[in-house]
Amino acid sequence: MNGELMAAEMAEQPDVLARVTARAPADAEAVRAVVPRPLAGVVFLARGSSDNAAVFGRYLAELRAGRPAGLAAPSLYTRYHATVDWRGYLVVALSQSGATPEIISTCQAVRAGGAVVLGITNEPDSPLADAVDVLLSTDAGPERAVPATKTVTAQLALLVTVTSALRAGAADATPGAAGETADAVSDAPDGGTLDGLRGAVAGVLGDPGPVERLADRWRGLDRLVVAGRGLAYAAALETALKVKETTGILAEGISTADLLHGPIAAVYAGAPVLLVDGGGPADTDLDELRALLASRRAHVASLPVPPGLPEAVHVIAAITRGQQLSYELARARHVNPDAPAHLSKVTATT
Amino acid sequence: MNGELMAAEMAEQPDVLARVTARAPADAEAVRAVVPRPLAGVVFLARGSSDNAAVFGRYLAELRAGRPAGLAAPSLYTRYHATVDWRGYLVVALSQSGATPEIISTCQAVRAGGAVVLGITNEPDSPLADAVDVLLSTDAGPERAVPATKTVTAQLALLVTVTSALRAGAADATPGAAGETADAVSDAPDGGTLDGLRGAVAGVLGDPGPVERLADRWRGLDRLVVAGRGLAYAAALETALKVKETTGILAEGISTADLLHGPIAAVYAGAPVLLVDGGGPADTDLDELRALLASRRAHVASLPVPPGLPEAVHVIAAITRGQQLSYELARARHVNPDAPAHLSKVTATT
């Protein structure tokens, strides 16, 4: 037992993502049936890897719904017992297990405050089912390796569907606030941006050479900065988390803009930087950063993804690359990525 | 020139904060005059240290306004050119210089979308003035050291005032959604939570012994995890950023809940952990984490702040402690904290 579970679950992703793609029309319809109109805003609620999927959803939701989106702060409900008027809001709660206590109790609190709550889980019979208005399943099959892989990319694919459904409705509710906006991410009709996803992810999984070489070069790291912007910011955060979980390397995901701003000083102290591009309009910052880092002779690498993909598909493929790098780094360091020390599968934060 | 600027600006904080406290009634009135009713939500817009102040504001705003709050993603406007309906929203833009291009252009975009925009800056004659509906000044005097100190704590103090003004209005607009909520943070009337702030910060500044000893013990660090939750999460993020900026140590600010969830595996690889308490209801997680880390024999320290302060004041004092630690760490490492290599004062991200 040395990474077989994680490898097997990563390898299931093309099939899992094909199923999510096939269900997209029905899932979008389920979202349209409950989304509040007029829509005041969209808020994502999650922890861990699901919280990185939430970052991806937050960008897409604001672009497509044409209303502000954001991330929930669960401690406001579990610790401060805040009383908040959530009327008009759609809250999207993501939990692989559907059993994280603070996610359940925060769902209950925002729903009591008037929010419509959409749950996304890999366990449709979990407690999350009773705390939401509608539940969508990632349907990825049992996940046994501690580092989540197939459930994360399935969450992102589902969020492409969910946010597509917001766009269609938003065009009716707020004339002039859709259209051009949504096209910045995709010209395709609702759900269409999932086209090509299965092939892109299968292509990455079938070509591990680039990250095997990178993992060999970086096997001795004790820290790493992972940078991206826009939709790719989510891929940077998730890759950093996955590297942490599988290897113990102190990897930090960061926005390219923040890295250009202040904390970059830390880079000069010798931390290598992994750049994650999104194949979209936010990549201009990466070019600037790459030039700056080169002039400082920092150790820099990129997560290679084939060009020409729609941005959302590109980012999901980049996350698969990041999983692959984490797996290979763990193997190169003789760590078992299936069950990193002291990590348990179900989040118990309350 | 070896830290004199940073030390002098840190030392000015009691006077700066006393001025912010004295202006609180007028500033609150200026906020009440523009806040949209009904209020759809509150969003904070910032980068760098100001973004950490924004996290603090985000928690207080949701508690006090009784409506959801969040953080803006500037790249949606500067890179994706999103068209979003911001009607009903209050956007609070924080920029020390008032000259960061992406903050200005995002203010213009959300205002064009219907948001009321409140600016908070230390340079009231900056371009930010023309991009907002109302401008409040931190009035902290010129800040010449690269690591921002007095402007950050002044921002937090101003945010206590701003969010108090939201509460008073919210009680009228959404009956039953205020009261108990706000009391979780403070029993005091609007602005009253700033009482005791000057003395608390002066007390921290006058007693550097605890962090001098910690800096001596930790002078050789190359990485650090800084953890807090609730309002203190902002202090954890800001302390991590300040340590990075002044020393080059790869410090990562993290929510206690996230540290309990997954990335904690990295801790076992030897990274020391700095715990930041808030003197409030979210500290229960810190107790759990402290016990866990002790059982793993991790290197753990706390940012000492006197007990008995209102939570918001406690957190501002903790940020001052974090500045003091950053300063002392830089001195112990023979780095000049006034002008860390390759950092410039005005953010140029676009």
Q: pLDDT for B205-215, tens place per residue?
A: 999 999 999 99
Question: Do the Cβ atoms of B96 and B148 come closer than 8 Å?
Answer: yes
The B residues from 126 to 155 touching A (CB cutoff 8 Å) are none
A to B CB pairs, distance under 8 Å: 247
pLDDT beyond 90 at B187: no
Determine whether the interchain pair B252/A252 forms a contact, defined as Cβ–Cβ distance below 8 Å.
Answer: yes
- The confidence score (pLDDT) of residue A268 equals 54
> Is A250 within 8 Å of B262 when comparing Cβ atoms?
no
- A255 chain-B contacts, CB cut-off 8 A: 75
The predicted pLDDT at position B252 comes to 85
- Short-list B164, B64, B89, CA closest to A84: B64
**If you average pLDDT over residues B39-51, what whole number do you get?**
94
Give the pLDDT band of residue A343 (cuts 50, 70, 90). low
CA dist list (Å): A267 to A77, A131, A252 = 37, 43, 11
Select the more confidently predicted residue: B254 or B176.
Answer: B254
| pLDDT tens digits, B108-142 | 999 999 999 999 999 999 999 999 999 999 999 99
Query: Counting Cβ atoms within 10 Å, is residue A16 exposed (0-12), middle (13-18) or buried (19+)?
Result: buried
How high is the pLDDT of residue B170? 42
Say which residue the tokens 């899992």 belong to.
Answer: A16
B84 interfaces chain A, CB cutoff of 8 Å:
yes
Q: Is the pLDDT of residue B3 over 60?
A: yes
Query: Does any CB of chain B come closer than 8 Å to the CB of residue A295?
Result: no
- Tell me the pLDDT band of A222, cut-offs 50, 70 and 90: confident
Bond before A38 cis per omega within 30 degrees: yes
Inspect the interface and report whether the beta carbons of B223 and A222 lie closer than 8 Å.
yes
Chain-chain contact of A282 with B252 (C-beta, under 8 angstroms): no
Q: Residue A66's pLDDT is what? A: 96
Is the Cβ of A344 closer than 8 Å to some Cβ of chain B? no
From CA A60, how far away is CA A65, in angstroms rounded? 8
Cβ of residue A312 closer than 8 Å to a chain B Cβ = no
Contact of B188 with B195, CB cutoff 8 Å = yes
Whether A114 has a pLDDT exceeding 60, the answer reads yes
Q: What is the mean pLDDT of residues B95-102?
A: 94
- Are the C-beta atoms of residues A303 and A318 closer than 8 Å to each other? yes
Looking at residue B343, its pLDDT comes to: 52
Cβ pair A64, B84 in contact under 8 A: no
| Residue pair B275/B301 in contact by the 8 Å Cβ criterion | yes
Q: What is the pLDDT of residues B16-29, one digit of tens each?
A: 999 999 999 999 99
Partner residue opposite B263 with nearest CB, options A58, A241, A296:
A241
A283 vs A293: CA distance, rounded Å: 15
Q: What is the pLDDT of residue A242?
A: 93
Rama region for B308: left / alpha / beta (φ>0; ψ in -120 to 50; rest): left
Please report residues of B whose CB lies closer than 8 A to that of A273. Answer: none
On chain A, the residues whose CB falls within 8 A of the CB of B102 are: 257
Q: Are B36 and B116 a contacting pair, CB within 8 Å?
A: yes
Q: Which residue, among B42, B52, B84, B246, would best test binding to A if mutated, counting the most A CBs under 10 Å from its CB?
A: B84
For the cut 60, the answer to whether the pLDDT of residue A146 exceeds it is yes
- pLDDT, tens digit, 9 for 90 and up, residues A21-60: 999 999 999 999 999 999 999 999 998 889 999 999 999 9
Q: Give contacts of A102 with chain B, Cβ < 8 Å.
A: 257
Averaged pLDDT, A102-111: 97
Nearest residue on chain B to A100, alpha-carbon basis: B261
Q: Which residues of chain A have a CB within 8 Å of the CB of B105?
A: none
The better pLDDT of the pair B263, A123 is held by: A123
Which chain A residues are within 8 Å of B229, Cβ to Cβ? 75, 79
B307-350 pLDDT, tens digit per residue, is 999 999 999 999 999 999 999 999 999 989 887 664 545 445 55
Of A69, A84, A268, the CB nearest to B62: A84
Q: Is the pLDDT of residue B180 over 80?
A: no
CB–CB contact B258 A222 (8 Å): no
Say what the pLDDT of residue B17 is. 98
Structure tokens at B18: 């006393």
Note whether B308 contacts A: Cβ–Cβ < 8 A: no
Q: What share of chain B is helix, strand, coil (3-state, %, to 5)?
A: 50, 10, 35
Q: What is the ipTM of this complex?
A: 0.91
Mean pLDDT of B268-281: 84
Averaged pLDDT of chain B: 88
